[in-house]
Amino acid sequence: MPARSNAFQEMVALLTQVMRQDESIKVTPSALLPDVITGELREVDIYVETTVAGHEVAVGIECRAHKRPQGVDWVESVRNKHADLPVHVSVLVSGSGFYKPALAKASHYRIKTITPGEATPEFVGQVVNNLDKVVTKRAHFQVKTVLLQVRLEGGHLKWVETFADSPLYAHDGAEIENVGFVVRGIIDGNPAQRAHLESATDKDKFMNIKTDGPSYNGQPVYIIPMRDGKELLPAPVVGVRIEGPVNLDLVEVPLKHGDYDGTPYSSGSAPFEGMRISVVATESGDGAVKWAGSVITPGGAQEMF
């Protein structure tokens, strides 16, 4: 995420995610969108892609956390900027509110305005106006060993240890990727691993992912195995096993409470090993609580969890 992003924008992105949790929504903080006239990439603080009544809708959200209310200039600037971007709906979120002329302008241009405020004192839920901190759990998997199961001549199957920079080949012999690239794809796209990490406790110290071999253009991927220091004929990879420790970190995050577009919420962030961990929770009057969180590394993107 660009350095100009801030904690207020991150909170709004998380609130947008948690308040619209469904399969049709995709929230992208600090999205770079092409200008339809110049082709230049322009940044939108938060870009939301969703489906409404069978139609794709793109929402551009711009955020400001200034000391003074926002005026007409910001409304007009966003309107002109979004007019040349793939944005159907514009939303302005100001931590300090808006001057009346700005609200009138935004209403005229059908731009939604939101000013987060304090949660009403009488609202006391499980989280909002009740908890002053929350402990978040961050579990991460460190790859230690990668084993590939290959089919040697004669059909014999053998597990061989490999390394991240070991090359992989297509069935025609062309070098395509390396083992590290395939391992990252398996880990990032493995639902079982994500579920395991989400439910991990301090007793979970090790993870073992086992899956079928990767493919390329519908064909098996090959490696060149070694025996007694000599290269054998290329062999198809029929299985992959990834092993390594699971590290579990507990991070205490202080909470503050507010109201966002009529929904009570709690939010907070805390530094951790050079990163920033942020969480939000929204709560309805019937006690339903929804959580969302993100981690940001210096110069990196806001990765939600």
Q: Residue 154 carries which DSSP code?
A: G
Enter the tokens of residue 25.
Answer: 């929504």
What does the pLDDT read at residue 31? 94
Q: Is 2 exposed, middle or buried (0-12, 13-18, 19+ CB in 10 A)?
A: exposed
Q: Residue 113 carries which DSSP code?
A: E
pTM score of the predicted model: 0.71
pLDDT digit string, tens, across residues 148-202:
999 988 888 999 988 889 999 998 889 998 998 888 888 776 666 566 565 566 5
Backbone angles phi, psi at 196, to 5 degrees: -65, -45
Asked if residue 66 lies in contact with residue 95, where contact means CB atoms within 8 angstroms, the answer is yes
Residue 180 makes CB contacts below 8 A (sequence gap 6+) with 164, 165
pLDDT digit string, tens, across residues 46-75:
999 988 777 889 999 999 999 999 999 999
Which contacts qualify for 150-159: CB closer than 8 Å, 24 or more apart? 150/223, 150/225, 150/235, 150/236, 150/237, 150/238, 151/235, 151/236, 151/238, 152/225, 152/232, 152/235, 153/232, 153/233, 153/235, 157/238, 158/225, 159/239, 159/241
DSSP of 178-195? EHHHHHHHHHHT-HHHHH
Taken in order of first residue, the domains within the chain and their CATH numbers are: 7-132+255-304 (3.40.1350.10), 140-248 (no CATH)
pLDDT greater than 60 at residue 242: yes
SS3 state of residue 55: strand
One-letter identity of residue 234:
P
